[in-house]
Structure 1
Amino acid sequence: MRRKNQKSLLALLLIMIVSLFAVISGCSGEEKNVKSAGESQETKDKEEKVVRIGYQKYGTLNILKKQGTLDKALKSHGYSVEWIQFPAGPQLLEGLNVGSIDIGHTGEAPPIFAQAAGTDLVYIGHEPESPLSEAILVPKDSPIRTVQDLKGKKVALNKGSNVHYLLVKALEKAGLTINDIEPKYLVPGDARAAFEQGSVDAWVIWDPFFAVAETETGARVLADGKDLVKNREFYLASRKFAENHKEVIDLLLEEINKIDQWAKSAPKEVAELLSPELGIDVASLEKAAKRRTYGVQKISEQVLNDQQVIADTFHQLKLIPEKINVKEAALEETNN
């Protein structure tokens, strides 16, 4: 009888030991899960504190990057900045579309093409009109004298960029269409080479490449944007980033405005500041700085309407497949 009781006690003890181990193991697993979740959230928070800014070779963002004032301002709010350079606006907005950047700047046309392609972007600000900062160029000894003379000629341009619209409007004024020329879609570096080698008859380009071509090759202006286009520079962001990081957007525009106020009266200083970083001579950069305008502004109803006109033009020319509503790319506060 005693042996039977001993066996029962032993069995009960074993059950208690197993149960205790199960409880300890469960608690340990729960602690690991909580720790893992905490680490995951901490990693996510750190990732969300990086602001990735896309920029091109020239513009207020270049000055801002060089001065380092935005980096300092954002650091005080717990953010770090990653600067990523792109050859032109269309490529920059493709970066925005795939999520490699959060904020960037382009001319008028790229956001229209990007919106038509499904990029969920929003307009967050813009610089004033600078129609003299882009032009159709021909070699200094070219027999081409008027825009009408471009009929049947090879014209280099960056597809979907601001100068695409300039070319359309210039041809329209001359009684021609894009179908009357032979467009060669090239990024600025390749277009410059083709222009100098005589592979194309004309080049539609913006500053500072425009100024460099004048300074170094003696390129002649066939037509600039005056009385044809407004040529605004826009600041854009992914919708998700703009809605979730309003403080960053506000701080960015505040710092851009400070730089603009300095730059508008200091073209030579701007040129000297940017020359080493851009690898462009001071004379060319000063020429470009003098013909652009500064003073960041909020997006207005009129600006959105102007963008809609450009979008409708591209749709009529079948350059974008479907009609878009530009106001869908405005922040909610803009529409209110």
Structure 2
Amino acid sequence: MKKVTIGGVPEHFNLPWYLTLKNGEYKEKGINLRWNDYPGGTGAMCKALREKEIDIAIILTEGIIKDIIEGNPSKIVQTFIQTPLNWGIHVAHDSPYKTVQDLKGTKAAISRYGSGSHLMAYINAENHNWDLENDLDFEVIRDLEGAIEGLTDGTADYFMWEKFTTKPIVDRGVFRNIGNCPTPWPCFVIAVREDFIENNKDDLKTILDIINNNTADFKAIPNIDKTIANRYEQKLEDVQEWLSITEWSQSLINEETVMNTQKELHALNIISEIVSYDTLTRQI
């Protein structure tokens, strides 16, 4: 049986992977797919791809584009979530900051440099016409647990993370949400190491076919909202809102979207150059 390793954040977006693994759908096709959680997010997965800890990553679009340009030998083979990611902007519950504009010049908690929380701090700053050189400062906190600690003890002032993932922390009175910042592009893509693509095209196509069959009908699964609420300890109404604004994809990200994303990242000096569509993607 072919062993394949895959990584992703332990969040509701990736429940289709859990369901298909639980049902043994990959094993039926002779594939031993092993899932690894990466609570540290995109930066940690980029490192794991480079070091061959994983073959496949469910990863933020902007983060993997940046890392491929910087030498990560991987390719985007498909969009996973077509809709934008809604990043919540969070402060400690007793923080003096009341609005996003109050955060100008303060310290952002980020999971690591090159992560989504790092890159989106630039997008948020641009949205508010801040000086990207002087109004941004960062504190590396690794993951969501690190952010709770960092904001509570004042090591950092604000933290950007997916709104619905952090909602239970807001509900507990640990964070306050003072704003939102949606990505200007589809949020999650499936990235695969180039050497794995070259040597395992049939297995990769099988894996994509299985997950795409699941995501195409994911919202129609009976009581899926209750399943998500229970598994991820979220309020049912929050899950229902999230489902209403989230769409999965079964196709490769298009060239226009890739080039527009690069233009945005380049304008913010997040990437040093704009590369060709074929440098970043591979049709399976």
Question: Distance between the aligned counterparts of 2:54 and 2:240, measured in 1?
Answer: 26
> Is this contact kept in 2: 1:58–1:207, CA < 8 A?
no
* Residue 54 (structure 1) aligned with residue 7 (structure 2): yes
Larger radius of gyration between Structure 1 and Structure 2: 1
Question: Distance between the aligned counterparts of 1:215 and 1:207, measured in 2?
Answer: 12
> Is this contact kept in 2: 1:267–1:290, CA < 8 A?
no
Query: Equivalent of 2:34, from 82, 105, 110?
Result: 82
- Relative to structure 1, the CA distance from residue 254 to residue 105 in structure 2 (aligned partners, 3 Å threshold; closer, same or farther) is same
Which residue number in structure 1 is paired with residue 228 of structure 2?
A: 270
Q: Which runs of 5+ in 2 are unaligned?
A: none
Question: Distance between the aligned counterparts of 1:148 and 1:84, measured in 2?
Answer: 37
Question: Distance between the aligned counterparts of 1:259 and 1:141, measured in 2?
Answer: 42
Which residue number in structure 2 is paired with residue 203 of structure 1?
A: 159
Question: Distance between the aligned counterparts of 2:147 and 2:91, measured in 1?
Answer: 12
Taking structure 1 as the reference length, the TM-score comes to 0.71
Question: Distance between the aligned counterparts of 1:182 and 1:129, measured in 2?
Answer: 29
Which residue number in structure 1 is paired with residue 172 of structure 2?
A: 216
The 5 Å alignment of 1:310-321 reads: 310-314=264-268, 316=269, 319-320=270-271
Higher helix share: 1
The 5 Å alignment of 1:27-42 reads: none
Which residue number in structure 2 is paired with residue 166 of structure 1?
A: 120
The 5 Å alignment of 1:246-325 reads: 246-265=201-220, 266-272=224-230, 274-275=231-232, 281-283=233-235, 287=238, 290-291=241-242, 293-299=246-252, 300-314=254-268, 316=269, 319-320=270-271, 322-325=272-275
Query: Equivalent of 1:136, from 64, 89, 109?
Result: 89
Query: Equivalent of 2:146, from 186, 190, 195?
Result: 190
- Relative to structure 1, the CA distance from residue 230 to residue 223 in structure 2 (aligned partners, 3 Å threshold; closer, same or farther) is farther
Query: Equivalent of 1:73, from 1, 6, 25?
Result: 25
- Relative to structure 1, the CA distance from residue 286 to residue 55 in structure 2 (aligned partners, 3 Å threshold; closer, same or farther) is farther
> Is this contact kept in 2: 1:307–1:326, CA < 8 A?
no
- Relative to structure 1, the CA distance from residue 94 to residue 81 in structure 2 (aligned partners, 3 Å threshold; closer, same or farther) is same
Question: Distance between the aligned counterparts of 1:282 and 1:55, measured in 2?
Answer: 19
Which residue number in structure 2 is paired with residue 125 of structure 1?
A: 78
Taking structure 2 as the reference length, the TM-score comes to 0.83
Q: Which region of structure 1 is more displaced relative to structure 2, 190-199 or 290-299?
A: 290-299
Give the structure, 1 or 2, with the largest relative contact order (CA under 8 Å, sep 6 or more): 2
> Is this contact kept in 2: 1:148–1:176, CA < 8 A?
no
The aligned amino acid for 1:108 is T
- Relative to structure 1, the CA distance from residue 207 to residue 104 in structure 2 (aligned partners, 3 Å threshold; closer, same or farther) is farther
- Relative to structure 1, the CA distance from residue 311 to residue 182 in structure 2 (aligned partners, 3 Å threshold; closer, same or farther) is closer
> Is this contact kept in 2: 1:136–1:167, CA < 8 A?
no
* Consecutive aligned runs of 4 or more in structure 1 exceeding 6 Å deviation: none
**Aligned-residue offset at 1:169:** 1.9
**Aligned-residue offset at 1:60:** 4.1
What secondary structure sits across from 1:72 in the alignment? coil
- Relative to structure 1, the CA distance from residue 286 to residue 254 in structure 2 (aligned partners, 3 Å threshold; closer, same or farther) is farther
The aligned amino acid for 2:65 is I
Percent identity between matched residues is 21
The aligned amino acid for 2:181 is G
Question: Distance between the aligned counterparts of 1:196 and 1:231, measured in 2?
Answer: 32
Question: Distance between the aligned counterparts of 2:50 and 2:141, measured in 1?
Answer: 21
Question: Distance between the aligned counterparts of 1:180 and 1:75, measured in 2?
Answer: 51
What secondary structure sits across from 2:212 in the alignment? helix
**Aligned-residue offset at 1:323:** 1.6
**Aligned-residue offset at 1:67:** 4.5
What secondary structure sits across from 2:138 in the alignment? strand
Higher strand share: 2
Q: CA RMSD in A?
A: 2.6
Question: Distance between the aligned counterparts of 1:164 and 1:67, measured in 2?
Answer: 32
**Aligned-residue offset at 1:242:** 1.9
Residues 10-65 of structure 1, C-alpha deviation per residue, up to 9 Å, x if partnerless?
xxxxxxxxxxxxxxxxxxxxxxxxxxxxxxxxxxxx6xx21111122114434422
**Aligned-residue offset at 1:111:** 0.5
Which residue number in structure 2 is paired with residue 3 of structure 1?
A: none
Q: Which runs of 5+ in 1 are unaligned?
A: 1-45, 276-280
**Aligned-residue offset at 1:121:** 0.7
